[in-house]
A and B are shown apart, each in its own frame.
Chain A
């Protein structure tokens, strides 16, 4: 019985001239790993969930609210979706300070509950950003940038969290400190979480279930350990620990 705050998605993506079908549900507290090689459609899938691209057919619904359903001429634009995405290339506002990036996210949405200073302070502490609060975001290291990107995504108070290859641009040592911070954030997050990765270890560490995507189609789906074990060798994913360009 799916949780009432689940993400339910069944849709067709346009990938080049190819239309492919995917279908999955994500319950709060049971993060979904999206596995697959480069060009398998992982990022497109996240873009479709966040509303940055529209789906061709099918339906995406979050907490029983339809976000995108071409058949019903329904499309909720990304700004109204309450879906935060952590981009692979961070996409921080480089001209703003660390704190300024969080303030932007807090103020972006008009909201009923008043939030502000205390919420930002809490995020700054949780992601170890206090010492660099005044630094321009453009001057941060990779690990700092990624921690800020995750904190900024949470500052927008999303109902769903999407993460695109959060460690691919970080070296092993820095990646591990970010992993610890992200692990806590995912555990505390009340809504559905989708993590795109090509690292099987990360998938098993952070997620409960997984889908394996190839050419925009789901090749395997189920509990994360089952899907990972089913992937016979790393060749399916290419060199699975090598960061993508």
Chain B
């Protein structure tokens, strides 16, 4: 190593911070100011809720029978939604990842649609399909003598409609980036296609399935618009946590705040566990 380059090395070490800045790019003052405004806009409402919490009262609010009913309902419906989403969503993701051309593009558009559709419209769509006079609902009512809307089944259906895309998109991305190469390797080793799906494809994207399921569960837990439209808000029957928050906001604001804090806490836990699975195992297995 020449003397010049050694000196260069030393000065580079001294100016490590400058070097980092050069590598990531500088951050001009105007950018900083606007970024802080943006961040405050996201953080302030959370602080607002936390400032209103009656901490001593929190436990009794959350153990109130009405809240407990809503909590139990929300927990089991969003869990059921997630199980169904994994069972049908992983195969759908596989079809999307392996498909190409116009048909796959069309399917993907339908998969993504609920992500951007206003949830209340999703609820209206489900009513149009499964309502008493709906496309399928009329037949169900005539032949089997029951209707789906405003039942707990309707809660799960509404959640599934809005939450399934989160799982499908997450898993499809992983299948494209990680699954395909490992599938090729298994193919050259002589493994059959069915064996590849079970012992290569699914294990290869398992962390993405877990991440997608967590996102799906969190979205289902927070579902409001489609649920209230399609399943209604009958206390103890279809009144999930978010609906409980909405209706108690006027009459019992402390209860609404207490439930809100609980849901924020749940979301934070989901996010933190996701971060671990994404930055940790997900990358290490690559």
Contact = CB atoms under 8 A, between A and B. Distances in A.
B193 to A, nearest CB: 8
Contacts of B204: 93-95
Given A95-B203, A104-B199, A108-B195, A78 B182 contact: no
Interface stretch (B49-57, B184-192, B228-236): B184-192
A90 B40 CA distance: 46
A68 B274 CA distance: 45
A84 B199 CA distance: 19
B201 to A, nearest CB: 11
Given A89-B181, A104-B199, A95 B285 contact: yes
A108 B186 contact: yes
Contacts of A92: 185
A187 interface: no
B206 interface: yes
A95 B209 CA distance: 15
Contacts of B200: 93
B181, B184, B203, B286 pick with most chain A CB within 10 angstroms? B184
B195 A87 contact: no
B285 A87 contact: no
Nearest to A138: B285
A105 interface: yes
Contacts, number: 72
B285 A105 contact: no
B181 A109 contact: no
B187 A79 contact: yes
- Range of interface residues on B (Cβ < 8 Å): 20 to 34
Contacts of A138: 284-286
A78 B187 contact: yes
A94 B199 contact: no
Contacts of B190: 79-80, 82, 105, 108-109, 156
A239 interface: no
Interface string A151-171: 011001000000000000000
A50 B285 contact: no
A83 interface: yes
Contact of B188 (A78, A89, A93, A95): A78
Nearest to B187: A78
A105 B189 contact: yes
Interface of A: 50-52, 77-85, 87, 89, 91-96, 104-105, 108-109, 138-139, 152-153, 156
Given A79-B187, A79-B190, A96-B203, 19 more contacts: A52-B184, A80-B190, A82-B190, A84-B188, A85-B188, A87-B181, A87-B185, A92-B185, A93-B200, A94-B284, A94-B285, A95-B203, A104-B186, A104-B191, A105-B190, A108-B189, A109-B191, A138-B284, A138-B286
**6 tightest Cβ-Cβ pairs between the two chains A and B:** A109-B190, A91-B185, A94-B285, A108-B191, A108-B190, A78-B187
8 contacts: A83-B188, A84-B189, A91-B182, A92-B185, A93-B200, A96-B203, A108-B186, A138-B284
